[in-house]
Amino acid sequence: MKPAPIAIVGGGPCGLTFARLLETAGIDYVVFERDASPEGTSLFQGGTLDLHSETGQKALRRAGLTDEFEQVARRDATTITLQTCRGNLSTTLGEGRDAPEIDRLQLRQLLLNSLPAHRIRWDKALHSIDRANKNPQLGAADWLLHFADGSTETGFRLIVGADGAWSKVRPLITPASPQYSGKMSIEGRISPGNPQYAAAQEMVGAGNSVATGKDTALCIQQVSDRSYRVYMSLRVPSTFTRPGGDADITELEKARTTVLAFYADWAPHLRAFVEAAEGPWRPWPLNRLDPDIFLEGSESWTREPGVTLLGDAAHLATPNGEGVNMAMYDALVLFDAIMTEIQKGDSDPAALERAIVAYEAEMRPRGREKILDSIDMEEMMYVEEGAAKMLAMINPDAHQ
């Protein structure tokens, strides 16, 4: 009998990377993606990503997509400019490092182009999962996936939750849910026609810029169309930008006035980017999972036969420059664990379960470290002396 397919819930970078790796090995799978179609919009899909050689790029190499990646990778965009909110300590680092930038939408399209169209089921937002026959011994095959459109799917040999921060698959393995860090980034834009565009070119160039202040940071990055994303990062309640909140983004100019108050004592050349940031603004509340769920012996992480997690669904952290890289590396580690079992001649449910156990044994301590690193990064981002701390972290030999 033909083996049942692997179900991948989520068509982001890690889910599609895993799908592509399975495709290269001729393993049957299906991806369920909540977006209505592959026609993504750049408006709210996040900015640019730097792919690291031994994680994100390694996954693409193993997936046979190096040439396609190099066609769109921006190897001239690896620099980061650090400064304090006063404009002091302005230092540019990272030129020539092997971490080229690629827009999130470009990465997604690159991966989609490598997969047969029939492998992706669009407009399939997972609503819930339960057992078809209430038999906990049946493994993945008996889980019933309920989608928001009212349809159901079952009969898989493995279910992989790659469905992001608010994963619907995660509750099968852990009761842990994302916790708000107390910080939020609000995204705006500087387009080529913006009065601040020339200033962005001069300060940021093709790369990234970070300025740090008390309870406030400002990050600017160039994307592939040469416009800039502006991230106004604040220590604020999670309700800050919601309707009725202090910076309700449905009224942009009132929200701008409120946000500008956080930058009142910043250097004029930095404050000007907040004054000029175009809408619509998009809030990105910064959430993370509790790192202690990954500790050995933790009762907050259990094994559910035939089910596992990748990327943010597994180890959501606040931004630290590693997120998409760790997610794509998850896909590679799980794939390698599966291939190890297949090469032994095993492909039964027990063999897949051994692969999951091997994957999670590697992923869990790495996921915990990623979350702890992100907390350390938060401590640097939201204090004025954070720029100096980041400089010391990135380049310990730099003269200060």
Closest-CA residue to 382 (of 222, 259, 236): 236
Summarize pLDDT for 257-281 with one digit per residue, the tens: 999 999 999 999 999 999 999 999 9
Tell me, what DSSP letter sits at residue 114? T
Q: Give strand pairing partners of 120.
A: 31
- Give me the pLDDT at residue 234, please: 97
The model's confidence at residue 133, banded by pLDDT at 50, 70 and 90, is: confident
DSSP assignment of 16-38 equals HHHHHHHHHHT--EEEE-SSSSS
Query: How far apart, in whole angstroms, are the C-alpha atoms of residue 141 and residue 123?
Result: 23
pLDDT beyond 70 at 135: no
3-state helix, strand, coil in the chain (%, to 5): 35, 20, 40
Percentage of residues in the chain with pLDDT exceeding 70? 95
Instruction: State the pTM of this model.
Output: 0.94
As a whole number, mean pLDDT of residues 166-187 equals 97
Summarize pLDDT for 244-259 with one digit per residue, the tens: 999 999 999 999 999 9
Query: How far apart, in whole angstroms, are the C-alpha atoms of residue 173 and residue 309?
Result: 9
Q: Which domains does the chain have, with CATH numbers?
A: 6-74+101-178+290-381 (3.50.50.60), 180-286 (3.30.9.30)
Query: How far apart, in whole angstroms, are the C-alpha atoms of residue 294 and residue 174?
Result: 10
Phi, psi of 342 (to 5 degrees): -65, -40
Closest-CA residue to 65 (of 28, 120, 102, 117): 102
The model's confidence at residue 10, banded by pLDDT at 50, 70 and 90, is: very high
Structural contact between residues 55 and 328, judged by C-beta atoms closer than 8 angstroms: yes
The model's confidence at residue 350, banded by pLDDT at 50, 70 and 90, is: confident
Distances (CA, A) of 217 to 117, 179, 273, 283, 398: 41, 21, 12, 14, 22
As a whole number, mean pLDDT of residues 283-291 equals 96
Query: How far apart, in whole angstroms, are the C-alpha atoms of residue 383 and residue 85?
Result: 9
The answer for 108, left when phi > 0, alpha when psi is -120 to 50, beta otherwise, is alpha
Summarize pLDDT for 72-129 with one digit per residue, the tens: 999 999 999 999 999 988 899 888 889 999 999 999 999 999 999 999 999 999 999 9
Q: How long is the chain?
A: 400
**Mean pLDDT, all residues of the chain:** 92
Q: Give strand pairing partners of 189.
A: 229, 278
Closest-CA residue to 271 (of 317, 211, 193): 211
Please return the burial class of 257, using the count of CB atoms within 10 Å of its CB with bins 0-12, 13-18 and 19+: exposed
The model's confidence at residue 344, banded by pLDDT at 50, 70 and 90, is: confident
Within a 10 A sphere around the Cβ of 301, how many other Cβ atoms? 20
The model's confidence at residue 167, banded by pLDDT at 50, 70 and 90, is: very high
Query: How far apart, in whole angstroms, are the C-alpha atoms of residue 3 and residue 50?
Result: 37
- Give me the pLDDT at residue 399, please: 44
The model's confidence at residue 349, banded by pLDDT at 50, 70 and 90, is: confident
When mean pLDDT is compared across 44-58, 184-198, 329-343, the lowest value belongs to 44-58
List, in order, residues 6 or more apart from 123 with CB less than 8 Å away.
33, 34, 35, 36, 37, 149
